[in-house]
Amino acid sequence: MHIKKIGAGILTALLSIAMTLAAMYVLVRATLMVTQIPGTLARAIAVAAELVLGVIFLVGTTWLTTHLAVRIFGGGAGRALPPR
């Protein structure tokens, strides 16, 4: 059982690294494409879209990694709080 958790933890770490690197690669390519847009208004809209895309990618990567870690290493359902 412990070997499965260790393997899953290593796989989660590798997946997190791969997703982060892929997100950074996409964002760098998008930045290179955005800087070549000739129109000021179109470039401003593209920069805003790139910022939103970056936030979605990086927050999504963090959420997914945290979610997988809790699923793997979580202790179970947890205890219910006593009523007030």
- Tell me the Ramachandran region of residue 11: left when phi exceeds 0, alpha when psi lies from -120 to 50, beta otherwise: alpha
* 63 domain residue, yes or no: yes
> For residue 16, what are its two tokens?
């997190």
pTM above 0.75, yes or no: no
> Which domain does 23 fall in, by range?
2-73
DSSP 8-state code for residue 80? P
* 80 domain residue, yes or no: no
- Alpha-carbon distance of 64 to 71, in angstroms, equals 10
Q: How many domains does the chain have?
A: 1
* 79 domain residue, yes or no: no
* 84 domain residue, yes or no: no
Which residues fall within 8 angstroms of residue 53, CB to CB, at 6 or more apart? 26, 27, 30
* 62 domain residue, yes or no: yes
pLDDT digits (tens, 9 = 90+) for 46-72: 999 999 999 998 899 989 888 888 888
pLDDT digits (tens, 9 = 90+) for 39-52: 999 999 999 999 99
